[in-house]
Structure 1
Amino acid sequence: MSEEQEKILSFSLTLNPHFTHRTPESVKHATAKHEEAKPKKPGFLSRLRELDPVKSAANTPLYYEALTDVARDVQYYADVEIGSNMQKFRLDLDTGSSDLWVADITCKTRRRRFIKANSTTFKPVKGKFQISYGDGSAVRGFLGQDRVNIGGLVIEDQVIGLATAQSLSFSNDVIDGILGLGFNSISCMPGTLTPMDNMIKQNLIQEPIFSVWLGRSTEGGGGEYRFGSYDKERVDGELTWVPVTVKRYWQIKCDGLFFGDADLQLTSDVVVDTGTTLVILPTDVAKAIHSHIPGSYYDENNGWIVPNTPEVANLPGFQLLLNGTKFDVIMKDLMREEVEGKEGFVFSGIASSDRITTWILGDVFIKQNYCVFDLGQERIGIARCKHPIRKQPSVSEQMKVDAVAVPKKVRPCLIM
């Protein structure tokens, strides 16, 4: 393999100075994505069946897309280029959706906007799109086609949503748009190929897979997507392959839930969602887990909160049984930033909602567990993640970082 093919892009930690913790809004947004499916319009077919079944060329290079970690792992984005003149956008690579959209030049937003007149490869496409979220945020606009560069992998004629209007929450966000990596059955642009569909159809990747690891801000942040491969150096042990149960989101079966040695006697389908910060569970499940965290409780304004004490920090966290293997969600990821007005408490990495029928495993789960998404065989490979060895920030250094990210009086969680 050439030096160019092995090159991995690297970005330093970037923090959003406008960020404030919005757990209720985040939960609404995530649960809106994962509510029961509405009936599809007649004639809509799975586009993946129409793809060329011929495998990609064996000498196809490996592609990496580095991530930037925002405000204590609240969000991760990748720099993606669109158009012949490589207009750069910060995109949320989201396994919980399936569309690619950015703001059009006509959109009133603080974020970066796409100027189609400056791209010689842009083509108009008949049709419009609209996406509404449970927290009241929304985006709408028209469709186009253009070249998309993801970490050196160039997709030709990718259908893109160009937003002419978006809610204020999107305008103030650190990201410029979303690149969906879910199944095309949940696309809001029916009849189009998703970015992954096109990577496969255009023979751009070695295998119809992508993989992800997410870093922790307390350990240097960052993260990485790989397209067409996975990094064996990130895998601690062996991958456990879990079949997808429903081809909408990346939904798999959880055969058991544990907290340390305690079997909570609970099972469910779960969705592995890179676009959601927390683990979101039905109320009874969240209650069962927090019952093993002494002093934790549900606060009407802030959701689940846990004591910021050494005793809680030393707890084992909870485990999910997936196809015969237990996977951890550790207390380091369950104890988040301090709750304003609640001295000695931090936000829990678990939120609850009764609007969902499946459990949502967001970044709190993925940070501990390396995930490989196999579109060809409709399965997810999971293993404990080996994180890169990086300099651990001191408590005083982390306090400075948090002060920039959240310009309010906050103290870091005891777990660093």
Structure 2
Amino acid sequence: IIKRFTLCYVTGKILDGSNADVAVDQYHRYPEDIQLMKDMGMDAYRFSIAWSRIFPNGTGEINQAGVDHYNNFINALLAAGIRNSGLPSHGSTRQFEMHVSYAGIQPYVTLYHWDLPQALEDKYNGWLDPQIIKDFAMYAETCFKLFGDRVKYWMTFNEPDTFTVQGYDVGLQAPGRCSIVLHLFCKAGNSGTEPYIVAHNVLLSHATAVDIYRKKYKAKQHGSVGVSFNVIWFEPETNSTEDIEAAQRAQDFQLGWFLDPLMFGDYPSSMITRVGSRLPRFTKAESALLKGSLDFVGINHYTTFCARENKTNLIGSILNDTVSDSGAFTLLTNRGCSFVLNACSFQAWETHRRQGTEADLCPLFHFPVRANSIWLYIVPRGMRSLMNYVKEKYGNPPVIVTENGMDDPNSQFISIKNALKDVKRIKYLNDYLTNLLAAI
């Protein structure tokens, strides 16, 4: 569906007309990739299985070539860690085996990273139809059955809120459905209802798959199943009650939209109140199925935004979509936001680090340093705040940071030697990890 949306049928979706027919080509080059991982000392690797590579039509006949590829890939990851730590002292086979480590590079597998088989979109509009719940569960169980003897960490979905909003509210990602501004940007869709329907079906798909795993596979395979959530941390623009509540609603309509049902069995109360009849409701049986259907919480965290009360809701009345339903206006930067007032530009940090005056001069700079992406402002303390929030609200569940990092601009004028002097990224990772540690 991604290929058809970006390449074949919608002109102008990709600025330079490029496509993903061949990207990093891990399908053929995974031995090189694994050797690089081994050279770096990595002990874990997260990747996704393509649904259509297992079931080209979404259901029905299995593609054995796809199964063989993932078997070979998983086996190669696990074999990368096998090492002989010494010869047996007395030459026995049994003693030799005790000197060998089989830890390998542990595979962390995502079952769905926004790549719905086109056949299911054509057949019944994909995630908009409850039929998807049964079909996803069948696909997930197939993966558990084929690979679960070696895969111990599963993520059913990567960033469900992202493909829900981007695909069905604003229409920027597949399948490109929306109704904002009188269908100016999309030919079909309903931005005020479809994202909620899609999210509802995603949640029930996850819960159904987990139920199958726990009943049929967990006792023998001893694996864990979670979800990777995209989580921006929101800080109130001011200390006013209105902005504090707006920041909480922004989080409810992002992380809470999916994690609340999986932990508590229902949507956040703010969503139920504000969305009303447009929000599908769970039956008692569905709520029971959802509640506690996570073994761990995957967190993809990069940045922090400000949030303030959207008093006039002018944009919301114009767009009439799920993005505006929270009544919170989120900002990349603003002089009034607390994290901005306490952030240094990277250039200032680098200059004053050498002079030992970083702490004194940080408040003089109103804007935090940004990575290459226009939305990615570097705010390390957001990691600590987010982790404490998850710990306190959701009862200290196991958390795995499944994504974090920053991008730099690619320039032909920068030599490889200078590009490898990656001080900015080193500081980013160090500061975010320091804040992560502080939250433990």
Q: Please identify which structure carries the higher strand content.
A: 1
Higher CA-based Rg: 2
User: Comparing both chains, which one has the higher relative contact order based on Cα–Cα distances under 8 Å and sequence gaps of 6 or more?
Assistant: 1
Structure 1 length-normalised TM:
0.29
